[in-house]
Chain A
Amino acid sequence: MNPKLKHSLRLVISLAVAGLCSGFVLVGVYKGTQPRIQRNRAEAIQKAIFNVVPGTASTGALRVENGSLVPFEGNIGATEERLVYTGLAEDGSLVGFAIPGDGSGFMDTISLIYGFNPQQRVITGMEVLESKETPGLGDKIMKDDAFRANFAALPVEGGIKGVKKGKKVHPNEVDCITGATISSKAVISIINDSNEETLPLIENFRMPAADQPSAESEAPVSEVGAADSQAEGGGQ
């Protein structure tokens, strides 16, 4: 064989072997770690649902199919599908929904989840799942209790608006964080966009019969469990 060709072949084989070995190792590591990573993701989402939908005893997941919400049976930590979560009381009645959303922040994409009470039409809580906002400033959207308290009983009618800290007059306004206005407004914009997309689906959603303890199962969600949610103090 031509020595030049032999030499070139050796280089190609060396790189191919290195790539192959790397591929095998990575497949093994991926297979080994995925179940735990998915479990961690699912746990983080579950924890967030309990925080943003007060009174939740158990959770469920819904996916969008042909413009309506249907029960999702898979692993919520494994799917890339856009889901909407339900917060259920101990008796199985609906307490509220947890809606995920994401959009551009100041540094990178912000992923969050917020609770929604369909009877009172208020947001019941907000939690940022992932963000790379500026440490010490933008990351206050995750850590600032005063900012997060804005979302405890926030009406969605007319859309949510961000105002300078201390200038809040109307109930649908949110006090932005001083020094993190862009991040605060990004959160508001993500929620408004997500509301526009998800609230019509929620309004048409009917709880499946299996989850519904009474004959109210066929009623639209805006009428289901209103008394329950008031008794639970839903949305407060």
Chain B
Amino acid sequence: MKKDESYDLSDAQRELIKGFWKDNPVFIAALGLCPAMAVTNSLRNALVMTVATAFVLCGASALVSLSRKWIPKQVRISIFIIIIATFVTTVDYVLQAIAYDAHKDIGAFIALIVVNCLILGRQEAFASKRPFGLAMADAVGMAGGFGIALVMIGAVREILGNGTLLKDTPWMFSVFGPHFEPWAVMVLPPGGFLCLGALLAWFAWMKERFERKKQPETAASAG
């Protein structure tokens, strides 16, 4: 534990970046799949869920890291959940106040952020054992990685399922024009599974390709 108290910028940078690619919560760790499929039938919903989850994850990680020395081990999970639930309720009220229409669409899933295993997992595995800076870097990276996944799924599903991007916002535009016949299955739950499966396969293929490319370079430099 002692060695974790001191860290430099490269440590923070590593923790920040890992969430986007190496340990992406959706594509690699397969965490938070419920919201990743349930609310991604449009890009707007995906963006709202990303912001809400990022707020909860960053807030909870900051608070858990700062108070980690005062939280008794035996009740740590209960206290993490109290902290997470407080942030979730806050974001729920704030969303109702500032984005009432978006809340009407995904309000049920906002309340369910409290049981998103990505958030509790990061508190238990990381924030409760690391100093504030590293905990924040990890939270921002994980929230970013989660957001990238949601935005990718949301964009693909909305384009194929509705032929538009950013519908229900002032910036909505039609991608395929008025004669496009929407592929309705993409905005339904099976479309979520199809899209997630395809993106998981693409992500795994990219990762493998990247590592295969890296291997000869490493071997050459070692030789």
Q: Is B1 part of the binding interface, using a Cβ–Cβ cutoff of 8 Å?
A: no
**CB distance B82 to A40 under 8 Å?**
no
For the residues of B in contact with A, the DSSP-based class is helix
**CB distance B83 to A22 under 8 Å?**
yes
Q: Is B116 part of the binding interface, using a Cβ–Cβ cutoff of 8 Å?
A: no
Q: Mark A123-166, 1 if CB is under 8 A from B, else 0.
A: 00000001010111100000000000000000000000000000
**CB distance B100 to A33 under 8 Å?**
no
Q: Which of A18, A21, A25, A26 counts the most chain B CB atoms within 10 A?
A: A18
Q: Is A171 part of the binding interface, using a Cβ–Cβ cutoff of 8 Å?
A: no
Chain A residues near B86: list those with CB within 8 A: 21-22, 25-26
Q: Mark B62-92, 1 if CB is under 8 A from A, else 0.
A: 0000000011101100110011011001100
Chain B residues near A10: list those with CB within 8 A: 72
Interface magnitude class on chain A:
20 to 34
Chain B residues near A130: list those with CB within 8 A: 104
- Number of B residues near A (Cβ < 8 Å) is 27
Q: Which of B71, B82, B188 contacts A137 (CB 8 A)?
A: B188
Q: Mark A17-50, 1 if CB is under 8 A from B, else 0.
A: 0110110011001100100110011001000000
Least CB distance from B89 to A in Å reads: 6
**CB distance A40 to B97 under 8 Å?**
yes
Least CB distance from B193 to A in Å reads: 14
Q: Is A78 part of the binding interface, using a Cβ–Cβ cutoff of 8 Å?
A: no
Chain A residues near B201: list those with CB within 8 A: none
Q: Is B108 part of the binding interface, using a Cβ–Cβ cutoff of 8 Å?
A: yes
Q: Is A230 part of the binding interface, using a Cβ–Cβ cutoff of 8 Å?
A: no
Chain A residues near B94: list those with CB within 8 A: 29, 33
Q: Is A14 part of the binding interface, using a Cβ–Cβ cutoff of 8 Å?
A: yes
Q: Mark B28-56, 1 if CB is under 8 A from A, else 0.
A: 00000000000001000000000000000
Chain A residues near B205: list those with CB within 8 A: none
Q: Is B204 part of the binding interface, using a Cβ–Cβ cutoff of 8 Å?
A: no
Given known A-B contacts A26-B90, A33-B96, A136 and B161 have beta carbons under 8 A apart: yes
Q: Which of A25, A41, A135 counts the most chain B CB atoms within 10 A?
A: A135
Chain B residues near A15: list those with CB within 8 A: 75, 78-79, 82
Chain A residues near B90: list those with CB within 8 A: 25-26, 29
Least CB distance from A20 to B in Å reads: 10
Q: Is A11 part of the binding interface, using a Cβ–Cβ cutoff of 8 Å?
A: yes
Q: Taking CB as reference atom, which chain A residue is nearest B162?
A: A136
Least CB distance from A8 to B in Å reads: 10
Chain B residues near A108: list those with CB within 8 A: 108
When chains A and B are docked, how far (Å) is the Cα of A33 from the Cα of B97?
6
Contact sample, A vs B, 8 pairs, CB 8 Å cutoff? A11-B75, A15-B79, A18-B78, A21-B86, A26-B90, A37-B96, A135-B41, A135-B187
Q: Which 7 A-B pairs have the closest CB atoms?
A: A40-B100, A36-B97, A136-B187, A33-B97, A33-B93, A22-B86, A136-B184
Given A26-B89, A26-B90, A37-B96; 4 other pairs, CB 8 A cutoff: A29-B94, A36-B97, A37-B100, A41-B100
Q: B-contacting residues of A (Cβ < 8 Å)?
A: 10-11, 14-15, 18-19, 21-22, 25-26, 29-30, 33, 36-37, 40-41, 44, 108, 130, 132, 134-137
